[in-house]
Structure 1
Amino acid sequence: MTAPNGHPKHDHPYETADRAGRAMLARMTSGSSLNAAAAAWADWASHLARAPGRQMELAERAMRNGAKLAVHATGLTRDDPPFRPRAEDHRFSHPGWSTPPFSLWQQAFLAAQDWWDAAAEPARGTDPHNSDRVAFMARQMLDVLSPSNMPLTNPEVLQETARTGGGNLMQGMRHLAEDIRVQATGTPAAAAGGFAVGRDLAVTEGQVVFRNELFELIQYAPRTEKVHPEPVLIVPAWIMKYYILDLSPENSLIAYLVEQGFTVFAMSWVNPSADYRDVSLDDYRRDGVMAALDAVGKVMPGQKIHACGYCLGGTILSIAAATMARDGDDRLGSITLLAAQTDFTEAGELMLFLDESQVAFLEDMMWDQGYLAQEQMAGAFRALRDEDLVWTRAVSRYLMGKEDEAFDITVWNADATRMPAKMHSDYLRALFLDNRLTSGRFAVEGQVIALKDIRAPMFVIGTEKDHIAPWHSVYKVALFTQNELTFVLTKGGHNGGILSEPGHKGRHYRIGCRTPETRYTDPDSWYARHPATEGSWWPEWARWLADKTGPAEAAPPAMGAPDAGLPPLCPAPGTYVLMK
């Protein structure tokens, strides 16, 4: 029942029955493998059971934490509370948490959190991945029990209830009923603040000039009399809609580039249905990135193309660029990677969800559905930051009775896309599990590719607080390439650090350039050697691109290339971005 490549034979009736059962279970657990969770707990517990010294250490910590709580409960000491929330934990910021009995409940929760943080540290011999997963699951369980989640133990909720005479709870019940209705019926929730794509978001003027089954290509209208001679092509991640880079007019990276005199093209990926189940990762390279390069080349023939990839869009762009370098295709003038990983050995907290058991479980679910649904993928991202994205929102919406705040990025964040079964399986296995791209084992069309073959200069962005693509991991592209490479580390997270328009308060960045003959510098040493500069990194990128593309002295190109079979098809943002 197993094929030579290790994957199950899907046509065997017994295996089909097993996969159908696992797919049903996967729907019930939102794609989380119970086997993977159980294995992590078993590994952690079995090694702890054989470590009496470690057990005594944890018992001592529990007694010490209990003693600190007892002293704090007496109120006889003027010392600061013994336990403090993490810097990023804002659940206990209300002044009421400093007064009894709320302070005791808060301190008891933080004491338990402190103990579990220590308990989840791996005993000798424990798989570190399992220890990390246990720590994550323990944190998830503790977060459910946080006193901030209960109306009778949250001083802020009690204060609001007294102020409104219970109106906040009544409004919260209406919010809960609405959310249950949306979840049960599958009806999309109304966009917060009335934001609409094409009216408030993704409004930079342009035309769709090419369309195939995987993407639409948007060419943006010029805003300057003269433009740089060479175009910019943006390759977004296929897991979210492209307009993260064209949100509101004031923070649109695409609009900013156009205003600097660049001719910009952007890919808008299709939202695939079950009919796309057999579309592969290489299809996204060939019929996606390469087809876009071909189309841009027809609109602006004879010009180098400056490609920019965001998140997984940067990963597939790197694969395409390495393949082009192997095959002698020199159309790329430069490559920009925005929070994009090429090596996945330190791929951040997402790796907590990935091992053979988990990937096989997801594959069975996708085998049944034909794709990974938006809500199934979004659940993993929410779990990484459940304090903010789950529990803080629930308290605000259901206990405080507040409406969700209207932000353009929250609307985009809820506008995810599905992912074809085969493509999703391909990149989970080839990149996250096997890390083939930087280990010399990633083959395209039967031949292995290597990032070190890329000669086009690179501009790489990492963000300081990225949970999806940690900047140390993004920086690793410097270890596997030998070209000119400019690396920028900017303040913010995976999305907020990229949306760092000029004038954005509190932003800073670090920048450094490596030439081909420069020796490798590890990320922490690089950080120490490059001081922070206040402001946005966008102007740095614009100057770098201007240097690579030539002075803005050319007349803007026509929209599309009707003579080459690429007439304008419809105005931006096109039709694929509107697909639900």
Structure 2
Amino acid sequence: MTTEDNAATAKLEKMTANLAKIEALSARLMAALAQKKLSDPGVQGPGQEIYMKAAAAYLAGMMQNPGKVLEQQIAYWGKTMKHYVEAQAALASGEIRVPADPGPKDRRFSNPLWDTHPAFNYLKQQYLFNAEAVQNAVADLESIDPGDKKRIEYFTKQIVDMLSPTNFLGTNPDALEKALATDGESLVRGLENLVSDIEANNGEVAVTLADREAFVLGENIATTPGSVVFRNRMLELIQYAPTTKKVFQTPLLIFPPWINKFYVMDLKPQNSLIKWIVDQGFTLFVVSWVNPDASYADVGMDDYIREGYLTAMAEVRRITDQAQINAVGYCIAGTTLSLALSHLYRAGDTSVKSATFFTMLTDFSDPGEVGVFLDNDFLDGIERQSNADGMLSKTFMSRTFSYLRSNDLIYAPAIKSYMMGEAPPAFDLLYWNGDGTNLPCKMAIEYLRGLCQDNGLAEGTYKVFGHKVSLEDIQIPVCAVACETDHIAHWRGSFNGFKQMGSADKTFIVSQSGHVAGIINPPSKGKYGHYTKEGDVAGAPDDWMAEATFNQGSWWPSWGEWLAKQSGKQISARIPGDSGSPVLCAAPGTYVLNAQKTPTD
């Protein structure tokens, strides 16, 4: 037998073995899919009404201006026929060449075969023609509410993106090339990845974005030294160990969002906002929220304010023996900090000296991209599902936010994992992104209905402990940091809410980049700059930006200077436990590990 025969035999044996693995994995796949629980249709997609509105608007356009619709169709048909004729001519010439490709570059089609192979090029160009035609038709819809049109545009784009030829094995040259090069091994690994993800998510398809085994909290992520110095059913309070001999007298307390875990601010020492704050000489406390289960179903926003905000503030004052603290609220925690500050003002409580808000919305009259999920079709479904489960599952929230960037957070990772058979990367930020939390049923509905949908805080109708609160009640010095390309809390919306606060001392900063990267932007990287402007925070956000000054580098030092002015004199550094308050355990604590035992201390 020749060397070639031996190689062919080995190849055949490898492919046969891979086929056997695929058969076994297919059985596992069916068993994993069977674990999926039925969920309310309202959390799976928009209601039928939006499709009816789109169809009615399109038909109305046809009746009112048939020439315009016909023009669109003829332009689409013309491009399609011209492309077909050019492709046929190229094939008939006997040359392996493709027709001219004048369209803009799309990183989904980066494989050279999309530009050089006639079949793949035809698929790509025709898909882009189809996508353009559909999106143009939606953009030209008239006689429709602007809010409905925005939702139709968004969900149309989701469908168009889903149908990209890159998302299907038979039309993805990268996946096909790798399958041939590995004798099918990549497809086996991809199926293993798919089955593992479905098994890990109880029948749901949710692609793993980062290696789950690459990080251990407290060992190679969330490692800034500190101690848990207080615990109740809602939170663990972490006091971080000082790194300077002297510290500012007024302590700083950060409330992170309870939609995610706090350690996004402490991924590694090089980009840790927590470590940077400590290194600047601030006594830092950070709340680590509990990850609620169904037993927290009746916990509402008032409970978060009472047992979370007010309790943590009181503990920090007690531990440091200070009458006042500075506070930070991040995302939804910033919105809730606004509620708490309004309540404190009306109660005559001056225990908060200044407040900072990261990527926060308080005025939801224009909620940005997230607004497509705030109509009754989704919220009714979320309410029914949350009442049934006792909580709003992290699965639904994670999926919603991922679809705001579906090509980056769903399709591209799925292609690499399931079609290419690649292992997820050891990426700390993506690891954190996949380590989500649930929301208590009552709190989730109060937030979505009362604050997001009804815009209760900006309208002055939302109640805390039975009394209405208002942005005008926030009279202390305040600073807000928004992010220029934030798709969750857009900077214009953040500006519009922030300017309504009653404080005479308002500082607004816009960081380059998005919801996370814009905040976690250490000075050492010199990556993203920020915008600042002296004077009042008033008028239209775009007018503010037109007059703002661009500053190279991170916003952290600018904020640090502002915070130092609110923090009093320098005193000897405080050590966790030196006040007589017991140290319960080392940071990052137990709640971040999903421990949900009701504490006895």
Aligned to 2:132: 114
Over 3 Å counting, the alpha-carbon distance change for 1:281 and 1:124 in structure 2 is: same
Correspondence 1:579 to 2:575: no
Q: Alpha-carbon deviations, 1:479-507, whole Å to 9, x = none?
A: 31242111111111111111101122531
Alignment partner of 1:413 out of 412, 433, 444: 433
Is the CA contact 2:295–2:390 (under 8 Å) kept in the aligned structure 1?
yes
CA deviation after TM superposition for structure 1 residue 240, in Å: 0.7
> Are residues 1:51 and 2:61 paired?
yes
- 1:286 partner letter: R
Question: CA distance change for structure 1 residues 288 and 54 in 2, over 3 Å: closer, same or farther?
Answer: farther
**Farther off after superposition, 386-395 or 113-122:** 113-122
Kept in 2: contact 1:452–1:482 (CA 8 A): yes
In the TM superposition, what whole-angstrom CA distance separates every residue of 1:122-142 from its partner, at most 9, and x where no partner exists?
A: 633312222222222222222
Residue correspondence of structure 1 range 534-545 to structure 2 within 5 A: 534-545=552-563
Counterpart of 1:496 in structure 2 is 517
Structure 1 stretch displaced more, 296-305 or 407-416: 296-305
1:215: Cα distance to partner? 0.5
Structure 1 residue matching 2:169: 3-state secondary structure: coil
Q: What is the match of residue 424 of structure 2?
A: 404
Aligned residue in 2 for 1:394? 414
For residue 549 of structure 2, give the secondary structure of its aligned residue in structure 1: coil
Instruction: Return the alpha-carbon distance in structure 1 between the equivalents of residues 215 and 253 of structure 2.
Output: 26
Rounded Cα–Cα distance in structure 1 between residues aligned with 2:436 and 2:537: 41
- Greater displacement, 566-575 / 348-357: 348-357
1:530 alignment partner, one of 531, 548, 553 = 548
Mapped to 2, the partners of 1:262 and 1:331 lie a distance apart of 18
Task: Write the distance in 1 (CA, Å) between the matches of 2:344 and 2:216.
Answer: 38
Long gaps (5+) in structure 1: 1-24
Quote how far apart the aligned CAs of 1:154 are.
2.1
| From 142, 155, 166, the counterpart of 1:137 | 155
Is the 2:42–2:377 Cα contact (8 Å) retained in structure 1?
A: no
Report how far residue 26 of structure 1 moved. Answer: 9.5
Q: Distance in 1 between matches of 2:41 and 2:332?
A: 22
Q: C-alpha displacement at 1:187, in angstroms?
A: 13
Change (3 A) 1:341 1:406: same
Q: Is the contact between residue 289 and residue 591 of structure 2 (CA under 8 Å) also seen in structure 1?
A: yes
SS in 1 for 2:456: coil
Number of the residue aligned with 1:375: 395
SS class of match (1:486)? strand
Give the CA deviation at 1:47.
2.4
- Map 1:46-445; keep pairs closer than 5 Å: 46-52=56-62, 53-54=64-65, 56-73=67-84, 74=86, 81-84=101-104, 90-99=107-116, 100-121=118-139, 123-184=141-202, 191-192=211-212, 194-445=214-465
Q: Secondary structure at the match of 1:328?
A: coil
Structure 1 residues 187 and 476: alpha-carbon distance in aligned structure 2, compared to 1, 3 A threshold? closer
Alignment size in residue pairs: 546
| Greater CA drift, 495-504 or 110-119 | 110-119
Kindly name which structure, 1 or 2, has the bigger radius of gyration based on alpha carbons. Answer: 2
Instruction: Give how far 1:477 is off.
Output: 2.7
Q: SS of 2:104's equivalent?
A: coil
In structure 2, what is the equivalent of residue 13 of structure 1? none
Q: Which amino acid aligns with 2:593?
A: L
Task: Give how far 1:352 is off.
Answer: 0.9
Tell me how far 1:80 sits from its aligned partner. Answer: 6.4
Query: What is the TM-score normalised by the length of structure 2?
Result: 0.86
Code of the aligned partner of 1:509: H
Decide whether the 8 Å contact of 1:26 with 1:362 is kept in 2: no
For 1:210 and 1:202, locate their aligned partners in 2 and report how far apart those are by CA, in whole Å.
19
Structure 1 residue aligned with 2:13: none
Indicate if the aligned counterparts of 1:298 and 1:561 stay in contact, CA closer than 8 A.
no
Q: Name the aligned partner's letter for residue 508 of structure 1.
A: G
- Per-residue CA deviations over 1:295-319 (Å, capped at 9, x if unaligned) read 0010112342111111101110111
Q: TM (normalized to structure 1)?
A: 0.89
Stretches of 4+ aligned residues off by more than 6 angstroms: 75-80, 185-190
Contact 1:464/1:492 (8 A) holds in 2: yes
Q: Percent identity?
A: 36
Alignment partner of 1:37 out of 47, 69, 78: 47
SS in 1 for 2:482: strand
The DSSP-based 3-state class of the residue aligned with 1:503 is: helix
